[in-house]
A and B are shown apart, each in its own frame.
Chain A
Amino acid sequence: MPDVIDVILRCVLVLAVFMVLPLVIGQMEHKAMAHMQSRVGPMAAGGFHGWAQLVADGVKFVQKESITPVAADRRVFELAPAVALAPYLVALLAIPLGPFFGQGNLIGQDLDLGLFFVLAAMSVGVLGTLMGGLGSGNKYSYIGGMRVAAQLMSYELPMVLAAASVAMAAGTLSLVGIAQEWEPWWLITQLPGLIVFFIAGLAELQRPPFDAPLADAELVMGPLTEYGGMRFAMFLLAEYAGILVLSALTTVLFLGGWAGPFSDHIGWLWTLVKVMAVAFLVIWARVAYPRLREDQVNALAWKVLVPVALAQITLTTVLVVA
């Protein structure tokens, strides 16, 4: 019976993290981006510096009408937001948060192959945007969908290669195992891998500067053009959940997860701090850099990231074998 309670408790915790942290990241994006652009961002909702802005947005989205265009492929169109959102929840199940006051590791389920599980879930998540592009019956969505597909094909490879490099160095595919094996000098030897993984992750999530598929100035909103109300809100939540998963994965793989002073007790806090720092970097990149052109997006993947990732793997191999 305690097992059942344990499982339920873990699921509830993961669900809570899934509901709260993306909103925190979203709010951070609102405020950090605003201040970087010499604005103040939302100020009214909730009273103190607009902390409840995303909650207010959610309430607004719920009230809106759900419209399915006549030209849309109905089932594909309606299923796409769920396909975009659900995999990130599944991925969070396997990401460790670290030791919690000496009570063992905070994690939904410690899998032997956690790394591949999370990567697989992320690759399913992006199918949602693709389905939105195909099913909307809108030419902007269609072009956006094509760009999503091209971008996914290009960036899947360097991302997996960079992740594989860490797995090789740690000698395990378990995320808990990788974080435990982590040593500070990996920050230097795995630095190219870290950069490749982070950039490829940004591109996989279609975050600016890799948002050529959405490109509101030329494609309206790409695959999301026809969406409104709750379905659009789900896509929006999926974007922030994607940032959360990417940040958490980067933290666990490359930044040592809960490594830090007193990590036996407040390891989970270290993980959260690092996740938020990486999420801040995601937002920072959005503000600092203009959108890459479609050919630049693919050229960057194949001409820079893939060779760097391969070189990283070679380096790791040499270090592991030597």
Chain B
Amino acid sequence: MSATEVVFLLFAALAVGSALLAMTTSQLVHSALWLVVTLGAVAGCFVLMTAEFVAWVQVLVYVGSVVVLVIFALMLTRQQSTISAEVTGNRWTAAVLGLVAAVGLGATVVSGFHGERIEGRRIGTARSLGDALFNDWVLPFEILSGVLLAALVGAIVISRSGTER
């Protein structure tokens, strides 16, 4: 086991542990901050997999913007910082959906990259990512941007409909 693998395992354990804490802590703000730790640990994993670009963008976008957005939404909507441990009917549906998604994603990754090793190759540089994104995967990329555009238009429509009334 190389030093890189040890560090990778540490990061992975940190990611999983903080993700569990984010789910189980009783304070919404704490779970948002544990999410920061999770995302940071995942970024660390990306670095160890030589995917530095993904790692820094992960920190920049997810820690710098998405978590801030989550916290902002928390602050706007909920005044009390603790939530009572209420079990709604959605809880079990969510658990099932999460399990299915986890198994599906895990199976895809394992079947796609089973046994492959990174060693010595730099697969995650900005150049190789750009090549892959705009040569091999250009259609999914464009479809995704179409989805984002639709979401943007939807957000504008919803926010404007209130003012015209």
Contact = CB atoms under 8 A, between A and B. Distances in A.
A and B touch in the complex (CB under 8 A): yes
Interface of A: 73, 76, 111-113, 116-117, 119-121, 123-124, 126-127, 130-131, 134-135, 142, 145-146, 149-150, 152-153, 156, 160, 173
B124 to A, nearest CB: 10
A116 B60 contact: yes
Contacts of B65: 123, 152-153, 156
Given A113-B56, A113-B126, A131-B33, A149 B64 contact: no
Nearest to B72: A149
B153 to A, nearest CB: 16
Contacts of B56: 113, 116-117, 119-120
Interface string B71-105: 11001100001000000000000000000000000
A153 B69 CA distance: 7
B128 to A, nearest CB: 11
Chain B's interface: helix, strand, loop or mixed, by majority? helix
Given A76-B30, A112-B126, A116-B57, A134 B63 contact: no
Nearest to B56: A116
Contacts of B40: 124
Interface residues of B, number: 25
A131 B40 CA distance: 16
Contacts of A135: 29
A255 B162 CA distance: 45
Nearest to A115: B56
B125 interface: yes
A149 B63 contact: no
Contacts of B64: 120, 123-124, 126-127, 152, 156
B44 to A, nearest CB: 12
B72 A119 contact: no
What 3 A-B pairs are tightest by C-beta distance, nearest first?
A123-B64, A149-B72, A116-B56
Interface in B130-158: none
Given A120-B60, A120-B63, A173-B126, 14 more contacts: A73-B81, A116-B53, A116-B57, A120-B64, A121-B59, A123-B59, A123-B60, A123-B63, A127-B64, A130-B68, A146-B72, A150-B72, A152-B68, A156-B64
Given A113-B52, A113-B53, A149 B60 contact: no
A134 B125 contact: no
B60 A73 contact: no
B75 A142 contact: yes
Contacts of A134: 29, 71, 75
Contact of B68 (A119, A120, A149, A160): A149
A119 B29 contact: no
Given A120-B60, A127-B63, A156-B64, A149 B53 contact: no
Q: Which of A120, A126, A160: most chain B Cβ within 10 A?
A: A120
Given A120-B60, A124-B59, A153 B29 contact: no
Contacts of B81: 73
B76 A146 contact: yes
B34 to A, nearest CB: 11
A111 B47 CA distance: 12
